Structure 1
Amino acid sequence: MKTTDRHYEREFVRTFFTSPAAVKGEDDSAKMTRKAAQLSGMQAPDVWVPDNEDATAPSMRDEGVQNIIDVVSEYGADFPGEIHPRIVWHRESPETRYKGFQQMKEIADPENGAVENLDGFVVPEVGDIDDWKKADEFITIIENEHGLEEGSLSMSVIVESGESELAMGDLREEMGKPSNNLQRLFLLVDGEVDYTKDMRAMTPTGELPPWPELRHNTSRGASAAGLIAVDGPYDNIRDVEGYRERMEDNRAKGMIGIWSLTPGQVEVANEAPLPPQEGSWLLEVDDREVELETEDGREVYEGDTVTLEEEDGEYVLEIEGDAQVLSEDELREELLDMTSYVPSMDDIVNSMEEFEAAKEAGKGAIAMTQSATLVIDGVEVDIEKDRMWDEATYQAAMTPIALFQDVYEHRPDQHDELEELYSEDVVERAVEVGSV
């Protein structure tokens, strides 16, 4: 396999959803797996992981294997995302690795009817690069024993130790060697809980450290090796705003995907990376950005940290008790520095179409203007921001559009919801933009 010969087509993964392969004490131990397999639309993940490791008790794992086979055989063909069961593995336990091999071999046996609906396997608790190669070799053996095309099953790993974090730096050198099939790699997924344990880290409250370094390193490792990075679970499932903030921080690192523990988290994580339906103006206040309210075409600040008064042609702008007396031009410059604009999907598409038309006309760069009327304490101030668009700006703007196009291509079950969110016209234009 060449590095470019990977069998998967997705360039983006927003959601990585795990469900227990077998639940103890239930009349139907496959109840949760069966329910997950029937999700659709925004509640269905891009990658579904029937979990036969941490989410399934050791005494139930043999039953978990059979449940995965039964459920994926019955529902897998209609599941709108990809299916990647998680098996047992451990870098320090040959016995556990062998059990993982047996689980994958059974699940992938064509006679059991599930493999035609499988996309790959998730391997947890990997160690150094040699350990990754062991898992890869096992999958290669399984493909050959079952008469499957070599490389047809992808492999995703969960980074849960210092060893596996360092191993990501070896991928560029190791992938593509004839002695391995590491080109089958798909996702690099952070597992902060076990990573915290491996690092012997402690916090006063016992909560997990945020590990921004791990998330950065995983995103960098995925980018360098042509893979996809996914953040670990956010276990406070009721903290929707915290979940959104975590994803926003991740996206600034290039990490689009996140682990989801419930269908509710899946829905939030599926929508969060997409460009917003409406554009919004932000005002920086007290080291944070406050979204302004749009009223009658004006952008209104409704807080009390910033105040503004007009006196005899001059303006008194007070921020956290610090007052400045400014002329109209000085006030406008001050507010320009304090404001930023979050473009909507329609805004992004419009700007890209305008630049494409300019490029067709032989122009290498054009100015894009954003304007608004800000209202603070009833005082109106008109502002304008000019931004130069060149090819680099255009390519940067293409990232959220490429994400949308990837979703639109691979998740037809979400088409109606996307058209309801943006309108049919905007969706049609967003699918076409970037093709010139």
Structure 2
Amino acid sequence: MTRKTKRLRRVELATPGSSEKMMAKAAASKADMVFLDLEDAVAPKEKVAARQKIVEALKGLDWTGKTRCVRINDLQTEWAYEDIIHVVEHAHAHLDLIMIPKVMRATDVEFVDTLLTQIEKKLKTDRRIGLEVLIEEVDAMIHVEEIAKASSRLEALIYGVGDYSASQGIDLASIGGPNGYPGDIWHYGRHKITIAARSAGIDAIDGPFGNFNDAETYSEECRRARLLGMVGKWAIHPAQIDPALQAFSPKQADVDAAREMIAAYSEAERQGLGAITFKGEMIDAATVRIVRNIVEKADLIGM
């Protein structure tokens, strides 16, 4: 399946939509993507007012080089549909993505897609807002393959381990550090989400890590996610931006080697060869396919 819009998602910075100060700092940060939050980071009594604060931040701040996203409230709440209508109608040209929390099934994504289509028709624009969804309920994990292919707007699946833990009954003590589990407690979920995302031609993103003072463990969680094919991770605090950028950016030496390998294999193909020796190792089409992922990420970064 053809990949959707390609964006850098090495780090997605969570930012409360009720705080003008934090949104200004987010716009000036090094994060690839910033999502302005209307859900968990905003108290119920502040949710309606936060919509307009987000609109003003999207239109008034300098977001150069960043993907701009808004996380709406859960579709089962009273706020979700007006979150979409208000933010999109007032800041459509300044917004790239809507993030949908607590998706359960493909129909949840289809609902938001339909509403966005109606708004864009009203605005008479061909510019389409993309979608990201959070996989943070056991029902969502069961239906993740159909969710991943629910809409042509969908660009990424995110593993929301906090709410997911509550949904599955995982103890709070198991989150964010050593827990006695014989292995990586998040391995299955990360693996399943990444497979579903790759099959749909979209990105897989690892979710939040709560202790922003523990850079070592955060970096390890980034490494584990990257090894499975995830392309980035959330940052709940600016202190997590640099570790995520480092973890999900290829090293220049690896990029150079990948490009050299691809060039060598392309020349071999022109000579009718199916496998060649490259710097003492046998490489073939499968090898080149793997390293193309490095080059694709490097191209997005500008390396």
Q: Considering the TM-score relative to the shorter chain, is it more than 0.5?
A: yes
Aligned residue in 2 for 1:116? 93
Cα deviation for residue 206 of structure 1 reads 5.0
Q: 1:14 aligns with which of 10, 17, 26?
A: 10
Q: Which digits, 9 at most, give the CA deviation of each residue in 1:132-168, with x for residues without a partner? A: 322222222322333333x701121111101111222
Cα deviation for residue 200 of structure 1 reads 1.6
Contact 1:171 1:225 in 2 (8 A): no
1:207 lines up with 2:191 in the alignment:
no
Aligned residue in 1 for 2:25? 35
Q: Which runs of 5+ in 2 are unaligned?
A: 180-184
Q: Aligned residues, how many?
A: 296
Separation of aligned partners in 2, 1:207 and 1:148: 44
Contact 1:247 1:256 in 2 (8 A): no
Separation of aligned partners in 2, 1:260 and 1:134: 28
What code does the residue aligned with 2:118 have?
I
- Pair 227,116 (structure 1): closer, same or farther in 2 beyond 3 Å: same
Cα deviation for residue 4 of structure 1 reads 5.5
Contact 1:38 1:79 in 2 (8 A): no
Q: Which digits, 9 at most, give the CA deviation of each residue in 1:355-413, with x for residues without a partner? A: 334444443322234xxxxxxxxxxxxxxxx32012221221221111111222xxxxx
> What is the SS of the residue equivalent to 1:274?
coil
Identity rate, percent: 26
Cα deviation for residue 271 of structure 1 reads 2.7
Aligned residue in 2 for 1:154? 130
What code does the residue aligned with 1:348 have?
A
- Pair 222,145 (structure 1): closer, same or farther in 2 beyond 3 Å: same
Separation of aligned partners in 2, 1:171 and 1:21: 26
Q: 2:286 aligns with which of 379, 392, 404?
A: 392
Cα deviation for residue 129 of structure 1 reads 2.3
- Pair 394,207 (structure 1): closer, same or farther in 2 beyond 3 Å: closer
Separation of aligned partners in 2, 1:216 and 1:391: 24
- Pair 353,226 (structure 1): closer, same or farther in 2 beyond 3 Å: closer
Separation of aligned partners in 2, 1:126 and 1:363: 48
Contact 1:122 1:155 in 2 (8 A): yes
Aligned residue in 2 for 1:407? 301
Q: Give the structure with the larger helix fraction.
A: 2
- Specify the structure having the higher radius of gyration (Cα): 1
Aligned residue in 2 for 1:355? 265
- Pair 238,5 (structure 1): closer, same or farther in 2 beyond 3 Å: closer
> What is the SS of the residue equivalent to 2:58?
helix
How do 1:20-169 residues align onto structure 2 when only pairs under 5 Å count?
Answer: 20-22=16-18, 29-39=19-29, 43=30, 45-76=31-62, 78-90=63-75, 93=76, 96=77, 98-109=78-89, 112=90, 114-149=91-126, 152-169=128-145
Contact 1:15 1:266 in 2 (8 A): yes
Separation of aligned partners in 2, 1:393 and 1:103: 46
1:230 lines up with 2:220 in the alignment:
no
Cα deviation for residue 245 of structure 1 reads 1.8
- Pair 5,357 (structure 1): closer, same or farther in 2 beyond 3 Å: closer
What code does the residue aligned with 1:397 have?
V
Cα deviation for residue 19 of structure 1 reads 0.5
Separation of aligned partners in 1, 2:55 and 2:135: 26
- Pair 347,155 (structure 1): closer, same or farther in 2 beyond 3 Å: closer
TM-score (norm 1): 0.63
How do 1:154-193 residues align onto structure 2 when only pairs under 5 Å count?
Answer: 154-171=130-147, 175=150, 182-193=151-162
Separation of aligned partners in 1, 2:48 and 2:257: 52
> What is the SS of the residue equivalent to 1:85?
strand
Superposition RMSD in Å: 2.4
Aligned residue in 2 for 1:323? none
Separation of aligned partners in 2, 1:56 and 1:48: 16
Aligned residue in 2 for 1:269? 244
Contact 2:12 2:232 in 1 (8 A): yes
Separation of aligned partners in 1, 2:285 and 2:104: 41
Cα deviation for residue 5 of structure 1 reads 9.6
How do 1:244-393 residues align onto structure 2 when only pairs under 5 Å count?
Answer: 244-277=219-252, 344-369=254-279, 386-393=280-287
> What is the SS of the residue equivalent to 1:183?
coil
After TM superposition, the structure 1 stretch with the greater mean CA deviation from structure 2, 124-133 or 45-54, is: 124-133
Separation of aligned partners in 1, 2:283 and 2:124: 52
- Pair 154,144 (structure 1): closer, same or farther in 2 beyond 3 Å: same
Q: Which runs of 5+ in 1 are unaligned?
A: 23-28, 176-181, 279-343, 370-385, 409-426, 428-436
Separation of aligned partners in 2, 1:138 and 1:166: 25
Cα deviation for residue 259 of structure 1 reads 0.8
What code does the residue aligned with 1:184 have?
R
Separation of aligned partners in 1, 2:250 and 2:97: 30
Contact 1:84 1:122 in 2 (8 A): yes
